[in-house]
Amino acid sequence: MAGPSLQHPSSTPPNPTEVAQLEEPLTPLHQPLLHESGLKHTSGEARYVDDLPSPPGMALCLVLTSPHAHARITRRDAAKARAVPGVHAILFAEDVPGLNDVGPVIHDEPLFAVNEVQFMGQSVGVVVAESYDACRAAAKLVEVDYEPLPAITTIDQAIAQGSWLSDPHVMKRGDVDAELWKSEVKLSGEVRTGGQEHFYLETQSTLALPEEDGSVRLLCSTQHPSEVQAIVAHVLHVGRHLITVEVPRMGGGFGGKETQAAPFAAMAALAALKLKRPVKIWLNRDQDMAQTGKRHPFMTRYEAGFARSGELKALKLELFSDGGFSTDLSRAILDRAMFHSDNAYYVPALMFTGRVCKTHLPSNTAFRGFGGPQGMAVIEAIMSRAAEVLGLDPAELRAKNFYDDAPRNVTPYFMEVKHDRMPRLWKELLASSDYLARKSAIESFNASHPHARRGLAITPVKFGISFTTSFLNQAGALVVMYADGTVQLNHGGTEMGQGLHTKMMAICAHELGIPPASVRAMTTATDKVPNTSATAASSGSDLNGAAVKVACETLRARLQPVAARLLGVPSESAGDILFAGGKVFLRTRPELALPFGKVTQEAYLSQVPMSATGFYKTPDISYDKSTGRGKPFHYFAYGAAVSEVELSGLTGEHRVRRVDILHDVGASLVPTIDRGQVEGGFIQGVGWLTCEEVLFDAKGYLLTHSPDTYKIPAFGDAPLDFRVQLLEDAAQPDVIHGSKAVGEPPLMLALSVVAALRHAVTAFGRPGAHVDLKMPCTPEALLNAIEAVRSV
Amino acid sequence: MNAFEWVAPKTTEQVSEAARAQGAVLKAGGVDLLDRLKNNLEAPSRVVSLQALKGLGGIAGDAKAGLELGALVTLAQLAGDARVRAAAPKLAEACWHVATPQVRNMATLGGNLAQRTHCWYFRSEHDVCRRKGGSTCFAQRGDNEHHALFGNGVCASVHASTVAPMLLALEAVLTVENGKSSRQLRLEDFFVPPEKDLSRENVLQPGDVITRVRVPPSRAKTGYLKQTAKESFDWPLAVAAVAVELDGATCKRAAVVLGAAAPVPLRARAAEAALVGKPFGPDSIREAAKAAVQGASPLSGNGYRVPVFEVVVRRALEQALEAKS
């Protein structure tokens, strides 16, 4: 694979104190690093919750689930099941001492269904036994009688029946109807995007260990340990101080373990306290896929007005998402979809209305991008269609509509777009990908090939960074030094394979001037850093990194006077003492350096405190949903991708031939990690848009509940030629060491593949033919679209 | 999954005896059986492992004598074996196209032929379809994009084996043993269409064990294509396996077999008729490909695969045309 050098160029450091700490060759920051657990992941030595040795007396769980999408429960009887040898308990709603609810925002999600079940796979109870055999034997004997009720299983049914989980959210600017009426070209239609299974390699799991005084320690695979702690506490009706949640590591999360680890953790905790023995819950793949929520499917109706020149004049959108049976995070996800319905484009007059539908399906939840991809898919479909209808080059039409100087710099929610990297990034990528020359080569290929057509497209991504619920933008860290100069690093973020710990260790090692090997990232735990936010919204390294830096600065300030004494420097010069390369020295006398360990030893003997906390909150963000106005984001992450595809008109198969990505991660904290996120995010997006199809039947049964019917891309499906570049000289002000968030934005770069496929489809028909390409773009969808343009 | 008795007999006779008991199932590689157990499709009281049997592995023969394949040979072994690649290159290719390396390392030839359909309604414990004793074929009115285009009036499932079409084209013969008796069975007579008997997909009776698969020597030119939605590994949208014997430039005998098209691997007789007696070339190939999809009866969601089959058959025949022998 062709690729750039991993070395990131030195960036301009934002402030003078960082100048002091930025000794390029002596710091791991901005350097390529191995993932701190990469070798352990590869060898199998990394221990996930289910790999931990079973503590003596441990019991296992099997969730009793509803076989109906919607039904009344008329009777429950577990007497026979309780008599099965090896069964310790069968728990139902009446066994919950506190609140029988696990809804993260709204209390509309019972831990165990009481009178009614609302999706196939909903938990009705849990069997706890000494073996899975005993669990299954007992589960067969549990008698639950149901009276089936009519079920809503699609967005269209929900709209028709007025089944909602939210009030409408409205964003508005200008007189959209008047502007649409005046527009030279009007387009209208409907865009649908499907669900997506998270397919984290490690399924949901928790090990609950009862401790003294009615307390319990949970080893849990979750992106949000503090929320698991809070939910378990209210389910058990105890203070949060009695619940400790620890995350050893996750085998992937992708949003699926932000809220949806909590119900299973609560079942294990409940059983552990009842039985006073360790209890583990673990879902197998089929159970996990059937019982947990997915990416929200969306249906959006649009009316767009364009000038013949290609300029977007007005846009009216009605977004409907499928929330499933309960609210979960659906409202915030819908909000983010609306916040990204502009993508990188200025919309002069607009009205966006969004509403969450209630269906009798698993509760859909966070998934990388959090609604952003669903919003962007709509505007990108509109841009592609406008270019097709107007006969303009899609790249030019897109660029023409980018945000620009005032007044074209205000988003639909009235936030000013600052530090706009898109024009520069677009220009650089068009050049480096050789877009124009390849486009004309493709035209001649398409003119001569008997049955294959190629397509080429470039699409932008502008993604808002911050939790849109403003108070969540906070983080804490606890850095602990030992007398020998080694360090334990605790922070509020969780490691799910994305490389957060690697980045945090690099920041910590940089701030204390020690090698990363002297720093150990500890498992994330609520007894180390309290009240944390989820590791989500791409914000893990921005928020936690800043907190780690603050903690390290406190420690450095305490060590400086100690080092001054050892170096014989007057105490007023202590502020000039630097920490780098494992050494401590006066700025002007680097040759007289002390080993870091000697300074910490002396600090201990001098009774200096050796641990410090750090705290960070993002400044100046807020959003008022009632007016649809505010500044919900700290900044925007940018990227663009050029994708080239080849599509067979005979079989509907396609191949992604080449992808060029230029992505803005600011001054990358660890370029190897960021590159991995860009590649992985893109491929996951390609999966969502081309081969992953979540299908429920009319009864609400998940037809695609295992990898034999649900198809995620494999290595063999990666682009044949995959070129990923990080934008150079791009340090971002007011973000940790000039970096930018990277977790979610690259997923949406995959929309370039859909745009390229549309280009290829158009080449089968007459110019201007209406392309109706459904997502995901399976061979079925592609053949139908080709058939339609041919028959025009 | 339920608790069951596990037996691993050392002789075929003992296997047959153990397998004749009510509720007994055979396990070779276990790839399909484990899925069925985990999906609660079956709850056998006894699982009879074939893995302790001696002599059911092994590949023998060559292009001249034909191939003798043990039923427990794995698909990975078949895909990589030099004799198979020389004598029946398209058979090796068909085996290579099955699933992923992990699956091919476990899956056996016999198991591949005897596996059950992957129809998602059949595989769902909640749906009691016709094959499971119910009165409805849910696929006929439900989600049927992967379902049968031919012979779908009773049950719209497709047979899951993508190796069988190639073996059929090569006129493979099975050896089936039951206790002391042993019989030879043309693969063509092995599969049972739903209109004949809904309860089974093949003729195997309790105690029957496939022990060998013989691929007779052949001078036919062959072609094989498995079209999938996803490049890396996937279930098929369409499979075509062809074997064409020539007399000079004229087609003397042709076998055109479709996979993933019907409840059983399907010989496209009309396509074969369009080839036999004519010069084997682009014209007859085009006619044969057209004929292959004649009589298709697509359901609401799988019509898009009719033209795909036509293309796949044509390309498989073109492969045969290019083949040396």
Active-site residue, selected from the candidate residues A184, A258, A744, A787: A744
- Distance between CA atoms of A525 and B129, rounded to whole angstroms? 49
Q: How far is CA A100 from CA A47, A114, A656, in A?
A: 32, 9, 48
Say yes or no: A720 contacts chain B, CB-CB below 8 A: no
Nearest residue of chain B to residue A778 (CA atoms): B229
Nearest to B304 among A136, A714, A784 (CB): A784
Give B81-93 pLDDT, tens digit per residue: 999 999 999 999 9
Q: Quick one: which of B37, B44, B46 has its CA closest to B1?
A: B37
- Distance between CA atoms of A648 and A631, rounded to whole angstroms? 46
Mean residue pLDDT across chain B: 96
Enumerate residue ranges in chain A where pLDDT < 50.
1-20, 22-24
pLDDT at A1 (0 to 100): 34
Name the 3-class secondary structure at A494: coil
pLDDT at A14 (0 to 100): 39
When scoring A780, A782, A787 by the number of chain B Cβ atoms within 10 A, the one with the most, hence best to mutate, is: A780
Say yes or no: B311 contacts chain A, CB-CB below 8 A: yes
Domains of chain B and CATH, by start: 59-114+159-215 (3.30.465.10), 221-319 (3.30.390.50)
Determine, for residues A133 and B233 on separate chains, whether the beta-carbon distance falls below 8 Å: no
pLDDT at A6 (0 to 100): 33
Nearest residue of chain A to residue B310 (CA atoms): A650
Q: Which two tokens stand for residue B321?
A: 């045309």
Closest-CA distance of chain A to residue B307, Å: 7
Say yes or no: B145 contacts chain A, CB-CB below 8 A: yes
Nearest residue of chain A to residue B3 (CA atoms): A133
Contacts of A341 (CB under 8 A, 6+ apart): A315, A317, A319, A352, A375, A376, A378, A379, A412
Q: Quick one: which of A734, A747, A726 has its CA closest to A30?
A: A726
CA atoms within 13 A on the CB side of B155: 29
- Answer whether residue B251 shows pLDDT above 90: yes
Secondary structure element (H or E) that encloses residue A521, with its range: strand A519-521
Cβ neighbour number for residue A94 with a 10 Å cutoff: 10
Determine, for residues A711 and B230 on separate chains, whether the beta-carbon distance falls below 8 Å: yes
Say yes or no: B232 contacts chain A, CB-CB below 8 A: yes
Say yes or no: B6 contacts chain A, CB-CB below 8 A: no
Q: Check if the beta carbon of residue A70 is closer than 8 Å to that of residue A149.
A: yes
pLDDT at A523 (0 to 100): 97
Q: Quick one: which of A548, A553, A534, A632 has its CA closest to A226?
A: A534
Say yes or no: A131 contacts chain B, CB-CB below 8 A: no
Query: Radius of gyration over alpha carbons of chain B, in Å?
Result: 19
Say yes or no: A695 contacts chain B, CB-CB below 8 A: yes
Determine, for residues A779 and B308 on separate chains, whether the beta-carbon distance falls below 8 Å: yes
Q: Which two tokens stand for residue A485?
A: 């100069």
Nearest residue of chain A to residue B39 (CA atoms): A286
Give A738-764 pLDDT, tens digit per residue: 999 999 999 999 999 999 999 999 999
- Answer whether residue B179 shows pLDDT above 90: yes
pLDDT at B325 (0 to 100): 60
pLDDT at B232 (0 to 100): 86
Determine, for residues B230 and A691 on separate chains, whether the beta-carbon distance falls below 8 Å: yes
Q: Quick one: which of B133, B79, B154, B88 has its CA closest to B109?
A: B79
Determine, for residues A701 and B124 on separate chains, whether the beta-carbon distance falls below 8 Å: yes
When scoring B96, B126, B318 by the number of chain A Cβ atoms within 10 A, the one with the most, hence best to mutate, is: B126
Contacts of B181 (CB under 8 A, 6+ apart): none
Q: Check if the beta carbon of residue A764 is closer than 8 Å to that of residue A453.
A: yes
Say yes or no: A651 contacts chain B, CB-CB below 8 A: yes
- Distance between CA atoms of A413 and A497, rounded to whole angstroms? 34
Determine, for residues B142 and A133 on separate chains, whether the beta-carbon distance falls below 8 Å: no
Say yes or no: B124 contacts chain A, CB-CB below 8 A: yes
Nearest to B308 among A284, A652, A701 (CB): A652
When scoring B158, B232, B235 by the number of chain A Cβ atoms within 10 A, the one with the most, hence best to mutate, is: B232
pLDDT at A378 (0 to 100): 98
Determine, for residues A717 and B230 on separate chains, whether the beta-carbon distance falls below 8 Å: yes
pLDDT at A11 (0 to 100): 39
When scoring A146, A651, A653 by the number of chain B Cβ atoms within 10 A, the one with the most, hence best to mutate, is: A651
Residue A666 β-bridge partners: A739
Say yes or no: A791 contacts chain B, CB-CB below 8 A: no
Q: Which residues in chain B are contacts of A133 at CB distance < 8 A?
A: 3
Residue A351 β-bridge partners: A172, A316
- Distance between CA atoms of A409 and A403, rounded to whole angstroms? 5
Domains of chain A and CATH, by start: 16-30+474-617 (3.30.365.10), 55-150+198-291 (3.30.365.10), 298-468+625-790 (3.30.365.10)
Q: How far is CA B55 from CA A542, B11, B13, B58, B71, in A?
A: 63, 9, 13, 7, 9
Q: Check if the beta carbon of residue B187 is closer than 8 Å to that of residue B111.
A: no
pLDDT at A4 (0 to 100): 35
Determine, for residues A703 and B231 on separate chains, whether the beta-carbon distance falls below 8 Å: no
Put simply, the chain A residues between 34 and 93 with a CB less than 8 A from any chain B CB are 67
pLDDT at A25 (0 to 100): 54
Determine, for residues A651 and B227 on separate chains, whether the beta-carbon distance falls below 8 Å: yes
B8: left (phi over 0), alpha (psi -120 to 50) or beta: beta
CA A4 to chain centre: 26
- A36 catalytic residue (yes or no): no
Secondary structure element (H or E) that encloses residue A722, with its range: strand A721-726
Q: Which residues in chain A are contacts of B290 at CB distance < 8 A?
A: none
Say yes or no: B60 contacts chain A, CB-CB below 8 A: no
Give B123-167 pLDDT, tens digit per residue: 988 889 999 999 999 999 999 999 999 999 999 999 999 999 999
Q: Which residues in chain B are contacts of A699 at CB distance < 8 A?
A: 126
pLDDT at A19 (0 to 100): 42
Work out how many CB contacts closer than 8 A connect A with B.
75
